[in-house]
Amino acid sequence: MSTLFQPYTLRSLTIPNRVWMAPMCQYSAEMAGPNMGAATDWHFAHYAARAAGGTGLILVEATAVSPEGRISPGDLGIWNTTQVESLRRITDFLKEQGTVPGIQLAHAGRKASTDLPWRGGDPVDPEAHGWQPVAPSPVPFDEGHPVPTELTVEQIHAVTAQFVAAARNALAAGFEVAEIHGAHGYLIGEFLSPHSNQRQDAYGGSFENRVRFGLEVVDAVRAVWPDRLPLFFRISATDWLEEAGWTQDDTVRFAALLKEHGVDLLDVSSGGNAPRVRIPTGPGYQVPFAARVRAETGLAVAAVGMITEPAQAEKIVAHGEADAVLLGRELLRNPSWARGAARALGGEVPVPPQYLRSV
């Protein structure tokens, strides 16, 4: 029997298989007015299709904990009840299909206030309905990007409180997995890396200081997230920088701390904190990062990055390199990837009765 299509239990939650959907921003939320940040029909259709296709867990895209935490004006938010109601429609449908709904809670930090990717993704000035980004240090992400405002200690604590409020809202919206976004050069990841964190206080300098904010967010969210439900953390395993960056060794060391602080699974990606770095991509190129964390810390992991073929995904899970695979672009191309993979590997996924003629 296929390992990929065996259930997987974390705390009291059982996920029906190990084919999971990675969080991928759609930049399609309501962009203005009282519904700003709310999910739209696009989000419902997008996530519903992958649930009907047999995906075991869907992690809804980076969802901002505050207006200033959005990457773009089109980002989802979860700081008010209107947004909660728009997301509950999605979680209800996912559960009806047997899919576990999860959400990634995020703050974009210095990479905030940019335009939609298909409109160029350039920074949006406050004069043009953008906003001022914040960061651990006043270091811009790239040339042409604004100098972010350095957060004070009081403001850091306020952002932690925003993550807590977002976690409570996520529960009210019907999500069963919460993932804290600490990857890809967004705010928590900016604190982790010496490339972007040049502070001289308790939140900068040493490894212990740079991970402090991330652990405080984890502790605060874990305190309000039900004990019966799992908490994930997404990390960039490396900045892919030759010097003065976050490294694989840092990730393993941090993963052990995250496990102690109540994180149940590490979602292992890489990069995003420095522009124009050279990343040697290829099929499964990030899987070794996840495998090392799992082997050296015992923390459960999910692998992501150019996982496209059923046999490839099966091998990753069956050989113990990861506990699950997260598919991104492949699920954009094929919403029913899980169903096809189950046929190829001798596994099973639920099929909506409306689609039984396709089996």
Report the half-sphere exposure of 126 (CA within 13 A, side-chain side). 7
Which residues are marked as active site? 186
CB burial string 53-91: b at 16+ within 10 A, e below = bbbbbbbbbbbbbbebbbbbbbbbbbbbebbbebbbebb
Token pair listed for 36: 């700003």
Strands (E), 264-333: 265-269, 300-304, 324-327
Angle between helix 287-297 and helix 248-260 axes, rounded to 10 deg: 50
**Would strands 265-269 and 231-236 be described as parallel, antiparallel, or unpaired?**
parallel
The DSSP code sequence of 180-234 is EEE-TTSHHHHHH-TTT----STTSSSHHHHTHHHHHHHHHHHHHS-TTS-EEEE
Task: Report yes or no: 160 and 220 within 8 Å, Cβ to Cβ.
Answer: yes
Task: Report yes or no: 78 and 65 within 8 Å, Cβ to Cβ.
Answer: yes
Name the strand (E) or helix (H) holding 164.
Answer: helix 153-172
Q: How far apart are CA 107 and CA 204, in angstroms?
A: 18
> Among 110, 89, 83, 7, which residue's Cα sits nearest to residue 47?
89
Q: How far apart are CA 136 and CA 120, in angstroms?
A: 26
Q: How far apart are CA 191 and CA 27, in angstroms?
A: 25
